[in-house]
Amino acid sequence: MFTAGAESLLQQAREIQAEELRKFCSRVSKLLREEDLGPDAIDCLRRLFLIAAAVDSEAVYQHLFTRVPAELFHSPMLAFEFVQFCRDNLHLFGGNLSILTLSFPNLFKFLAWNSPALTAEFVALLPALVDASTAVEMLHALLDLPCLTAALDLQLRSWPAASERPLWDTSLRNPSCLEAFRDPQLQGLVQHLLRSKASGTTQRLAPLHQLLQPMASCARVAQCAEAVPTLLHAFFSAVTQVASGALTNQLVLLLLERSDSLYRVPQFEARVHRVLSAQFLALCKLKPSLVVELARDLLEFLGSVNDVHGRASMVTSVVWAIGEYLSVTYDRRCTVEQINKFFEALEALLFEVTQSRPSAALPQCPPQVVTVLMTTLTKLASRSQDLIPRCLGGEWGERPAGF
């Protein structure tokens, strides 16, 4: 499993004393803080990983995953070595694998700062990081990854020691952004975004999205945003392997919520919406009964859509899923009353999108939204005798002008 050199090191490590281990950790920390990381620093990091595995030292793992990513995420060489070692040596963690999975917010700092170089590495690592207990929190973190990049940029700019700052474009588009970043009223959200471990909680970061909006056009933020759709696909591929029925429902609710709450990076929302809408349908196919179980939430979503054009793909997927799965065929708990409520909500939405006049501020509703609305209304009417007269009445049966 290991090279002869590694086996020798493991044997020596098992005999190491606590004081010697402490001194070695201190030496590695000092080497990693040097501006120019040389081969010695990387070699010591590898040795420290092996030593931690050999002695099963939780303290060493905590040091590695708490301090190193938080303080040295801006070192490309260290980031690559750190993530690659984690990916290739998962078997070394043994009983400490939970330290790795709970440290995903810290590991994501490597990813946020070093995309796209680390994207493939994290796609390979994500299956090991995804855990049912932290899946919801991790999905929030992936959706907020470009926001994390912007926050890390400001954090680096605020560090007093120049030697700790990497080289970058020193021009800040909005100097007041850095001052707002230090606002005591926002520190709770900032600390949550920059946390080192999974907290078991989630917070709406809309105020931070607004604060960090001037950073959205930065090249590093844009590069990170481009990697998010790929990472989301990898996440959902992994989470469906561990998701229970309750977790599936939670993920669907998160998709509905976050489709209207994303950091506004150019083209980021459209790309993410395509992924979210596709994954929404995949989760519905995995568990068709969630349409009935989450009926109230889906109705609230349909009633709160105020930007159909901006969320067309998500609205289309939700409406299609209702037409496909709101039936006793998929869930015996489905009632005529539920079908009637959805029909009324969809009918109101169709009237709204077809009667509103397109303008520069309010563009024309995409044709696919109108088409799926009319198709779904027809499906629902076929499942309720009370709705058949309304469906045949022709009130919405004719396609409005312009569609």
As a whole number, the mean pLDDT across the chain is: 83
* pLDDT tens per residue across span 209-233: 988 898 998 999 999 999 999 999 9
Q: Specify the DSSP class assigned to residue 362.
A: S
- Domain assignment present for 111: no
Cβ atoms of 281 and 314 closer than 8 Å: no
Cβ atoms of 189 and 147 closer than 8 Å: no
Q: Quote the pLDDT of residue 275.
A: 97
Distance CA 213, CA 207 (A): 10
Q: Specify the DSSP class assigned to residue 346.
A: H
* pLDDT tens per residue across span 312-345: 999 999 999 999 999 999 999 999 999 999 999 9
Q: What is the mean pLDDT of residues 69-87?
A: 87
The pair of structure tokens assigned to 234 is 């990898």
Question: Using omega within 30 degrees of 0 as the cis cutoff, is the peptide bond preceding 105 cis?
Answer: no
Written as one letter, the residue type at 80 is F
Q: Quote the pLDDT of residue 396.
A: 54
In the predicted model, is pLDDT for residue 306 greater than 90?
no
pTM to 2 decimal places: 0.85
Higher pLDDT, 184 or 39: 184
* pLDDT tens per residue across span 143-182: 999 999 999 998 888 776 544 444 444 444 555 677 767 7
Written as one letter, the residue type at 377 is L
In the predicted model, is pLDDT for residue 52 greater than 90?
no
Distance CA 28, CA 26 (A): 5
- Domain assignment present for 48: no
Q: Quote the pLDDT of residue 280.
A: 98
Residue 268, H or E segment: helix 268-286
What's the angle, vertex CA 370, arms to CA 270 and CA 284, rounded to 5? 65
Could you give phi then psi for residue 72, rounded to 5 degrees?
A: -130, 25
Q: Quote the pLDDT of residue 3.
A: 54
Q: Quote the pLDDT of residue 177.
A: 73
- Domain assignment present for 99: no
**167: exposed, middle or buried (Cβ count in 10 Å: 0-12, 13-18, 19+):** exposed
What domain range is 328 assigned to?
288-356+363-403
* pLDDT tens per residue across span 94-150: 777 888 899 999 999 999 999 999 999 999 999 999 999 999 999 999 999 999 999
Sign of the alpha-carbon dihedral angle for 279, 272, 106, 31: positive
Domains held by the chain: number: 1
Looking at 32-36, 98-102, 247-251, 368-372, which range is the least confident one?
Answer: 32-36
Q: Quote the pLDDT of residue 68.
A: 83
pLDDT tier for residue 208 given thresholds of 50, 70 and 90: confident
Q: What is the mean pLDDT of residues 4-12?
A: 49
Q: Quote the pLDDT of residue 37.
A: 58
Cα 308 to its chain centre, rounded Å, is: 23
CB crowding 272-305: b at 16 or more within 10 Å, else e: bbbbbbbbbbebbeebbbbbbbbbeebbebbeeb
Q: Quote the pLDDT of residue 164.
A: 45
In the predicted model, is pLDDT for residue 10 greater than 60?
no
pLDDT tier for residue 23 given thresholds of 50, 70 and 90: low
Output the CA–CA distances (angstroms, integers) from residue 190 to 186, 204, 257, 260, in the order listed: 6, 11, 21, 21
Q: What is the mean pLDDT of residues 240-266?
A: 95
The pair of structure tokens assigned to 196 is 């080192």
Helices (H), 33-102: 39-55, 58-72, 76-88, 97-102
Angle between helices 219-239 and 104-114 (to 10 degrees): 140
pLDDT tier for residue 378 given thresholds of 50, 70 and 90: very high
Q: What is the mean pLDDT of residues 358-365?
A: 67
- Domain assignment present for 202: no
Distance CA 248, CA 154 (A): 35
The pair of structure tokens assigned to 161 is 């020691």
Distance CA 403, CA 171 (A): 47
State the number of CA atoms in the 13 A half-sphere of 14 facing the CB: 6
In the predicted model, is pLDDT for residue 401 greater than 50?
no
Most confident of 196-200, 257-261, 281-285: 281-285
Q: Of all residues in the chain, what percent carry a pLDDT higher than 90?
A: 51
The pair of structure tokens assigned to 202 is 């989630």
- Domain assignment present for 320: yes
**11: exposed, middle or buried (Cβ count in 10 Å: 0-12, 13-18, 19+):** exposed
Q: What is the mean pLDDT of residues 368-378?
A: 94
Could you give phi then psi for residue 283, rounded to 5 degrees?
A: -70, -35
Q: What is the mean pLDDT of residues 17-44?
A: 59
